[in-house]
Amino acid sequence: MTKKKIKIASRFIPLVFFLLLFMAGISTNEPQRVMEQAWNICLDCIGIG
C-alpha cells in the first residue's frame, strides 16, 4: 500500500470512532434525553430569567 493510500485510509479512523460514539449514545437512550431538553424553552440559554 502506498503512502498516499495509507493517508487516505487513516481519514476513516475518526469517522469510525465517532460512529461508535454515536451508537453508544443511542444505546444509552441519549436521543430521547436530547429531544426532551429541546422541547423545553431554556430561558437561561436565551438570556431571560
Where does this chain bind another protein (CB under 8 A)? 4-5, 7-8, 10-12, 14-15, 17-26, 28-35, 37-39, 41-49
* Four-point Cα dihedral 37, 40, 41, 45, nearest 10: -20
Packing angle, helices 12-27 and 3-10, rounded to 10: 20
Shortest Å, Cβ 6 to another protein = 11
Shortest Å, Cβ 13 to another protein = 8
Shortest Å, Cβ 37 to another protein = 5
C-alpha grid cell, residue 4 = 498516499
